Chain A
Amino acid sequence: DTAVSQTPKYLVTQMGNDKSIKCEQNLGHDTMYWYKQDSKKFLKIMFSYNNKELIINETVPNRFSPKSPDKAHLNLHINSLELGDSAVYFCASSQRGDQPQHFGDGTRLSIL
C-alpha cells in the first residue's frame, strides 16, 4: 500500500486556469506538508498542517489554498495559474514536525 499518495501525477494546463492536487496518507501521521521543487531541484516548504490546522504558510501567494478535511488528507488548490507555477509539487507527512517525513511521488505541473 502506498503510504503517501497524491493525484494526479502529471498536470498540464494553460495559464489562468484553476487546478487541484489531492494528497492522502495512510500512516496515521498528524502532520502533513506541501513542498514545491523547482527545475534546479531546490525543495521549498509551502504549507504545513497539524491535525487539520494550518501551522506554516511560507509566504506563498494567496492563489494557493490548501485544505485539510481530516488529518489524513491535505489538498492543494491553485487559482489563476502562472508560468512560474510550473514545478513538481510534493506532499509529505510525519508524526510530528521534528520527525522524518514520508513523501508522495510528486505532481509535475506544467503551465503552457
Chain B
Amino acid sequence: AQSVSQHNHHVILSEAASLELGCNYSYGGTVNLFWYVQYPGQHLQLLLKYFSGDPLVKGIKGFEAEFIKSKFSFNLRKPSVQWSDTAEYFCAAFGGYNKLIFGAGTRLAVHP
C-alpha cells in the first residue's frame, strides 16, 4: 500500500540547534515528494518539492531536503532553527490517481 511515514511525532529544540525530520515513502511509481509546513492556526504551505534531478533540494526559509532513492527517504533539514519555525511539518508523496499521500506530521517546538 502507498504510505508516507514520519518517524518523529514531536521534536523539541532550542534556537540555533540543527534540525532533521525523517520521512520514508513506499509508493513505487512517479517520485514526486513534498514537504509542507503548517504554522499554528494556519493553512499548509509548501516548503520544497522534489521531482527529479539534484537529490538535494533547497526550499524556502533555509530548509533543504535530501532524496535518497535507495532508502526511500526524503528527510528535511535546517542547520539552525528559530523560534518562528515552531509548526507542524508534513511530508507528502504523489500516490498516483491524482492524489498526494501525507505523513502523520511532526510537531516541532523551538524554545528561545
Q: Which residues of A come within 8 Å of B, CB atoms?
A: 4, 31, 33, 40-45, 48, 50, 55-56, 90, 92, 96-106
Number of B residues near A (Cβ < 8 Å) is: 21
16 A–B contacts from the bound complex (CB under 8 Å):
A4-B43, A31-B98, A42-B105, A43-B44, A44-B102, A45-B100, A56-B97, A92-B44, A96-B98, A97-B98, A97-B99, A98-B32, A99-B32, A100-B46, A102-B46, A105-B43
**By the criterion CB–CB under 8 Å, are A50 and B43 in contact?**
no
**By the criterion CB–CB under 8 Å, are B99 and A45 in contact?**
yes
Residues of B close to A45: CB separation below 8 A: 99-100
Residues of B close to A104: CB separation below 8 A: 43
The verdict on A100 contacting B34 (CB below 8 Å), with A43-B90, A43-B105 known, is yes
**By the criterion CB–CB under 8 Å, are A103 and B43 in contact?**
yes
Q: Which residues of B come within 8 Å of A, CB atoms?
A: 30, 32, 34, 38, 42-46, 49, 88, 90, 94, 97-100, 102, 104-105, 107
Other-chain residue from B44, B94, B98, B104 in contact with A50 (beta carbon distance below 8 A): B98
Closest-by-CB residue of B relative to A41 is B105
**By the criterion CB–CB under 8 Å, are A90 and B98 in contact?**
no
Other-chain residue from A31, A50, A103 in contact with B45 (beta carbon distance below 8 A): A103
Residues of B close to A56: CB separation below 8 A: 97-99
**By the criterion CB–CB under 8 Å, are B44 and A103 in contact?**
yes
Nearest CB in chain B: distance from A71 CB, A: 14
**By the criterion CB–CB under 8 Å, are A41 and B88 in contact?**
yes
Extra pairs beyond A41-B107, A98-B94 (15, CB < 8 Å): A40-B104, A41-B104, A42-B105, A43-B90, A44-B102, A50-B98, A90-B43, A90-B44, A92-B44, A96-B98, A100-B34, A100-B49, A101-B44, A101-B46, A105-B42
